Structure 1
C-alpha cells in the first residue's frame, strides 16, 4: 500500500532542493503557457504546456500541504501556496477561456502580435 506519510517526510527533508526546483519551474512553465495563448498557438500545444505547468503547481501544493500537516505556518509557506495557486489559476484560465486571456495580453502588450509573426 502507498504510504503518504513517507512521501510527506521526503518532502519536508528535502525542502530546499524541492523549492529550488519548483519555484522557477512554476514561473517559467506558466509563462510558457501564457505566451502560447498570447501568440495564438494551436490548442493542443497550449494544452500540453498547461498540463506540464499544472503538474508542477500541484506538486508544489502537495509540498506546502505537507508542511501545514505538521503545523509549520510561516510566511514562506503562504508565499509558496499563493505562487502555486496563481500558476494553477493562470493555466486553467489558458484552457478554459483562452480568448479572454489573449485579449488581455494583446491590450497589455502591444508588441505581442509582432512577436507571433516572426516565428
Structure 2
C-alpha cells in the first residue's frame, strides 16, 4: 500500500532537485506543445505532447500541495503553482484549439 505521508516527506526533502527538474521540464514540454500546434502537426502528435507536458505540470501541482499541507505559504509556492496551472491551461487550450481548427478547416477529414 502507498503511504502518502512518506511520499510527501520525500517530495519536501528533495525540493530543490524536484524543482530543478520540473521547472525546465514544464517550460520545454509546454513549448513543444505550442510549437507543434503552431506548425500544424497532426492532432495525435499535439495530444501526445500535451499529455506528456500535462504530467509534468500535474506532478508540480502535487509537489506544491505537499508544502501547503504543512502550512508553507510563501511566494515561491505560489509562483510554482501559477507556473503549473499556466502549463496545464496552455496544454488544454492547445488541444481544444487544434480540434476546433480541424473542424473549421477540414470538416470532412475529421476522424472521431
TM-score (normalised: structure 2):
0.86
**Cα displacement string for residues 35-67 of structure 1 (whole angstroms, at most 9, x for unaligned residues):** 100000000100110111000000000000000
Aligned ranges for residues 33-112 of structure 1 at < 5 Å? 33-98=33-98
By how many angstroms is 1:97 displaced? 2.0
Q: CA RMSD in A?
A: 1.3
**Cα displacement string for residues 73-112 of structure 1 (whole angstroms, at most 9, x for unaligned residues):** 00000000000000000001111222779xxxxxxxxxxx
The answer to whether the 8 Å contact 2:60/2:80 transfers is yes
Distance 1:40 1:29, change over 3 A: same
Divergent runs of 4+, >6 A: none
**Cα displacement string for residues 4-37 of structure 1 (whole angstroms, at most 9, x for unaligned residues):** 1111001000000000000000000000000100
* 1:97 counterpart SS class: helix
The answer to whether the 8 Å contact 2:11/2:18 transfers is yes
Structure 2: state its 5+ residue gaps: 102-112
